[in-house]
Amino acid sequence: METEITVRRALELPALRRGLPEVLAGSDRLDRAVRWVHAGEVPHIASLLKGGELLLTTGLGLGARPSEQRAFIRKLADREIAALVVELGSRFASLPTALVEAARDCGLPLIQLHREVAYVTVTEAIHTEIVNSHYAMLRRADEVLRRCTDVLLRGGGAPEVLRLLAGFTGNPLCLEAPDGSPLYAAGPDGPEGEDGPADADPLLAWEGLRDTGARIDVPGGGHGPDAVRARLVLLPVNTPLAPVHRIAAERAADLLAVVMLQSRQEEVLAARGRGDFLADLAEGRITAAEAPAQARLLGFRPGTDPVLPVVMRLPAGLPSPGSWALLAQALREELAAPGVPVLLGVRPVESRVPVLVALRAGLDRAALADRIAEALHAGVVRAGLDRPAAPRPVVVVGTPGDWAAAGPGLRHAAQAAAAAQGLPEAPWYDARRLDIELLLWRMREHGEQGVLTDFVERAIGPLLAHDRGARQPLLPTLEAYLASAGRKAETARDLNVNRQTLYDRLARIAQLLGTDLDDPQTVLGLRLALRARRHTDQS
């Protein structure tokens, strides 16, 4: 749907078509927008025009000499009018060669009408088209604003609004802080713009085109430095920016201003932008070759040091939508303490905090993991999210490597963090030691919970049945025995019982299960069954 009338469209209107129009010059410029229509016969008509007009004339003011005619065309071209339409008959039987050549040289569309037309009818028809196109354009902008409002009412935030706007324009865009740093970049390939092109990374497009893109201020409600809260930059990557795109962006900017009045919205926007980058890296949507440049734009410069992937997963419902901003700021401030480059993002939908950390030369992975995990947990406490009844957030640390390993490392750590929920609390978990938990978790996630349930029932079902009505359950004894690798003295000490009591319990367990607790294969099966039980309804 067109949002403006062009010279081509004007020539298709019956009011002009009756004049049998013939394009003599500028046939490649007929898609110029017509802002207004003007009729005039004076030599100095160019001084009365502002640009974008379709000028109607019978040629009385064009001049008699070729030099005058060329000068007339040049002045109109300098004014950047849309086109010149000359009606033949009153002044010319055909347009002079000098006039036509000058129009071609200046790239000015020149049209001659072979029949007389009523200028008032042409003016009325084109102005009606202009008004209708403006009305349609405003309706489209209003529709985008309505969709943005609906997104916010459904619990979305500024990122969802920006992705919707990017889908509408068909181009990437970026929300900048007043100092020019990126807060959040969105492309037209999001949920609201899945039909649009998706070949330009929003962050890299912003870096390359931010000086040429259209900028719209997001008002801050104050004066001086506080007058602008942020800036919305529209980037003409896939298609030229149409007037309706700017109108929609201006209206969305007012909506964003209201959203950003909430405290620390800039902080959570930047954190969500970094979270999107880390998620795209983990899912392979950003290559190892592209990643360093984008990370640099986000302030992460590890140099030649390996990067350590870390993921913190928060319990369901923690934090609430309104507390992500506070958490993002607290985590960022706490992670400044270790003194190494850190890139922290948030993923509210998955209740996840992905992190990349530079592993400086001389730093031990375990020692750095201790410091990072301590900072993450401290940030949760500072944000007031350490509720007594809530499980502690799970922190999983992956394996350090180069940028090619960073994405798979983040993905592995994220999945391991999901699988580790419900394990005994620890400051952090090593992703490499959670592979069995991850395997069992993946089986459950892929609909294999029945297989796990059957396995658990075969391996330890009689023991679980015994414990349901027993005054002295035996499952804790088996768990302690396996945790101590079968060392009976250590098991008795951990359970605070004498050895004979332990021997009696182990004998009873072996009898219930019909197995030998000293057999390595049996022990392996029991270990797996106890882990698999966490992923079944029998836990």
Quick: pLDDT tens for 241-277: 988 899 999 999 999 998 887 655 788 899 999 999 9
**12-31 b/e (C-beta count within 10 Å ≥ 16 → b):** ebebbeebebebbbbeebbe
pLDDT at 357 over 90: yes
Confidence (pLDDT) at 263: 54
Determine the average pLDDT of the residues in 227-254: 92
Residue with tokens 């009756």: 18
Residue with tokens 């923690």: 318
Determine the average pLDDT of the residues in 174-194: 79
- DSSP at 180: S
pLDDT at 469 over 80: yes
Q: Which long-range contacts (CB under 8 A, 24 or more apart) does 283-292 make?
A: 283/407, 283/411, 284/407, 286/201, 286/407, 288/402, 288/403, 288/404, 288/406, 288/407, 289/403, 290/201, 290/204, 291/403, 291/406, 291/407, 292/403
Confidence (pLDDT) at 199: 55
Confidence (pLDDT) at 115: 92
Q: Cβ distance 460 to 529 under 8 Å?
A: yes
What is the pTM for the complete model shown? 0.69
Residue with tokens 């605070």: 496
Confidence (pLDDT) at 508: 94
Of the candidate ranges 10-14, 136-140, 173-177, 526-530, the one whose mean pLDDT is the lowest: 136-140
Residue with tokens 């010149």: 84
Determine the average pLDDT of the residues in 298-327: 89
Determine the average pLDDT of the residues in 49-75: 92
pLDDT at 80 over 70: yes
Residue with tokens 């089986």: 443
Confidence (pLDDT) at 194: 42
The tokens for 205 are: 């497009």
User: What is the number of helices (H) and of strands (E) in the chain?
Assistant: 19, 14
For 415-435, how does the pLDDT look when each residue is reduced to its tens digit (9 = 90+)? 999 999 888 899 999 999 999
Question: Three-state SS for 84?
Answer: strand
Strand pairing report for 429-430 and 394-397: parallel
Torsion of CA 422, 428, 431, 433, to 10 degrees: -80
Rg (alpha carbons) of the chain, rounded to whole number: 35
Separation of alpha carbons 302 and 363, rounded Å: 14
pLDDT at 1 over 60: no
Q: Which residues contact 108 (CB under 8 A, 6 or more apart)?
A: 25, 26, 29, 73, 76, 77, 81, 83, 84
Confidence (pLDDT) at 67: 93
Confidence (pLDDT) at 337: 87
Confidence (pLDDT) at 319: 80
Confidence (pLDDT) at 198: 46
Confidence (pLDDT) at 262: 66
Q: Which residues contact 131 (CB under 8 A, 6 or more apart)?
A: none
Give whichever of 154-158, 225-229, 262-266, 346-350 has the largest mean pLDDT.
Answer: 346-350
- DSSP at 347: B
Confidence (pLDDT) at 429: 97
Confidence (pLDDT) at 347: 93
Separation of alpha carbons 429 and 43, rounded Å: 83
For 31-61, how does the pLDDT look when each residue is reduced to its tens digit (9 = 90+)? 998 988 999 889 999 999 989 999 999 988 8
Percent share of the chain, pLDDT over 90: 66
The tokens for 391 are: 């499980």
Alpha helices in 420-535 (DSSP H): 435-445, 449-468, 475-483, 488-495, 499-513, 520-533
Of the candidate ranges 1-15, 64-78, 387-401, the one whose mean pLDDT is the lowest: 1-15
Average pLDDT, the chain: 90
Confidence (pLDDT) at 242: 86
